[in-house]
Every structure is written in C-alpha cells, then in structure tokens.
C-alpha cells in the first residue's frame, strides 16, 4: 500500500525524483519543483505531499496544498487549495491519482481544514466527483486566466461544514 509523506521528511534522493517528475510532466512549472526541493525549510501555508511506493520507495505522485483565502461568505472556515496533483506517467490509470487526492484531502482535514478546494479543467470534474474522491461540483464562478470558465470542486470535512458553507453561500 502506498504511503503519503510530507516532502519535508523525504530524502534528497526522493526529492530529486519528485523534481524530475514535476519537470517531466509540467516543464513550465520549474518553480513548483523548486518548492518541493526546498521543502526542508518551513513554509507557512504550504504542505507538499509525496505518495511513495512501499515496495521500493519510488515516487508515485505528489500534490501541493496551500492555505487559501476564505471563500466569500465563509470567512470562518479554513480552506485548503489543492494544487499540482501529479501522478507518475508509468503509474497512471491504476487508481494512484484517486488515492493521492483522497490521502491529501484526509491530511488537510486532519490538519484542521474545513474545506478542500480544487480548480480544474472541465474534463477532470468527473475524476474529483465521480471517482469517489469525495468532492462536490460547484457551478462555474467566473472567467479563468485564459478566458475559459473555471470548474471548481470542493470536499468538506464534515456534513456540518458543508451545511455551513451552503448556508453562507446562499447570501451571495
């Protein structure tokens, strides 16, 4: 069974593998790779998590969570923004992405977050909602940077957190 660990606890060899994975999958995101590389330093508001194969400590994937600004109307709720979900191309279509998102979401809830939010391409909404990742689709909220509507999905720590969120959002 794969294990989710904080990048700050990883060996240099593991961090090298994470950086290589990120730059291989997203060559334009070298800054994200540097963030994982520098995870040994305290970085308030960020959690960089790595999914390791228990058999050989190989990197299966990684995800970055950061403390997000409050959702409008829900200023009293802690929101984590899930970014940069990456699965090693050799391990795709095997449930690793689902496992990574579930584990990172559970990590955020255990760390005291009420909501985990992810913005994604419309094609990935089904992954977050239908593939048992536990997220709920939220209607498009505006234009993204490239002019397309953003798709937003959210997971809630408890039914009470979801109810408070829904009640607060009714005002807007």
**Cα–Cα distance measured from residue 36 to residue 9, given in angstroms and rounded to the nearest whole number:** 11
- Where do the domains of the chain lie? 3-169
Give the pLDDT score at 116: 92
Q: What letter would DSSP give residue 89?
A: G
Instruction: Give the DSSP H/E element, type plus range, for residue 104.
Output: helix 96-110
20-30 pLDDT, tens per residue? 888 888 887 77
pLDDT at 42 over 60: no
Give the pLDDT score at 105: 92
**CATH tag, 3-169:** 3.40.630.30
Confidence of residue 129 (pLDDT cuts 50, 70, 90): confident
Q: Tell me the CA distances in angstroms from 85 to 75, 127, 166, 167, 169, one per residue in order.
A: 26, 12, 26, 30, 27
């Amino acid at each position: 069974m794969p294990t989710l660990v904080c990048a700050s606890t990883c060996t240099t060899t593991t961090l090298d593998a994470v950086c290589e994975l990120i730059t291989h999958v997203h060559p334009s995101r070298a800054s994200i790779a540097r963030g994982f590389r520098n995870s040994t330093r305290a970085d308030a508001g960020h959690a960089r998590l790595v999914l390791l194969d228990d058999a050989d400590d190989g990197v299966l994937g990684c995800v970055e969570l950061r403390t997000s600004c409050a959702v409008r109307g829900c200023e009293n709720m802690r929101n984590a923004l899930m970014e940069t979900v990456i699965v090693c191309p050799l391990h795709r279509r095997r449930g690793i992405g689902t496992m990574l998102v579930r584990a990172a979401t559970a990590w955020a809830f255990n760390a005291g977050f009420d909501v985990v939010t992810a913005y994604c391409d419309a094609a990935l909404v089904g992954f977050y909602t239908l593939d048992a990742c536990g997220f709920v689709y939220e209607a498009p909220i505006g234009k993204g940077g490239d002019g397309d509507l953003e798709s937003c999905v959210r997971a809630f720590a408890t039914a009470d957190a979801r109810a408070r969120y829904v009640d607060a959002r009714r005002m807007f």
